[in-house]
Amino acid sequence: MKCPACASDQSSFLGVGCTHECQNCKTIFGSCTVAQKEQLIRPLVSHRPVITADCRYYKLNCPDESGNVAIYEGWYNVKEQRIAVLKNGVNDSHEPQVE
């Protein structure tokens, strides 16, 4: 699969749904259920909403039982284990919680 951030075709399968990690820029992308998404991206928002060197981009398509697809996209701080920035507020009713 091509990375949505850098278009590299070098990625590794993460073993959660049909998700991958880009070997070039470390973006997490692909499709999975909402429950599986939370194995990759914890639904907690950082207290410092800035993109740092510890952040990686993610774009996940999460279909539901009726075929509708929610797109979760933003930057995730791997050191803090929190979402740093949500892109365009595309998350649906599963809004992240500030801890």
Say if 6 falls within a structural domain. Answer: no
CB-based contact 98:82 (threshold 8 Å): no
Say if 78 falls within a structural domain. Answer: yes
Say if 93 falls within a structural domain. Answer: no
Total domains, the chain: 1
Nearest to 74, CA basis, from 82, 85, 60: 85
CB-based contact 84:52 (threshold 8 Å): yes
Q: What is the pLDDT of residues 8-50, one digit of tens each?
A: 999 999 999 999 999 999 999 999 998 999 899 888 777 767 7
Cα(18)–Cα(32) distance, integer angstroms: 6
Say if 33 falls within a structural domain. Answer: yes
Q: What is the pLDDT of residues 68-83, one digit of tens each?
A: 899 999 899 888 888 8
Give the structural domain span for 82: 11-86
What does R_g of the chain's alpha carbons equal in angstroms?
Answer: 13
Say if 51 falls within a structural domain. Answer: yes
Residue 48: what pLDDT?
A: 67
The tokens describing 85, both together, are 């920035």
pTM: 0.80
Say if 98 falls within a structural domain. Answer: no
Say if 64 falls within a structural domain. Answer: yes
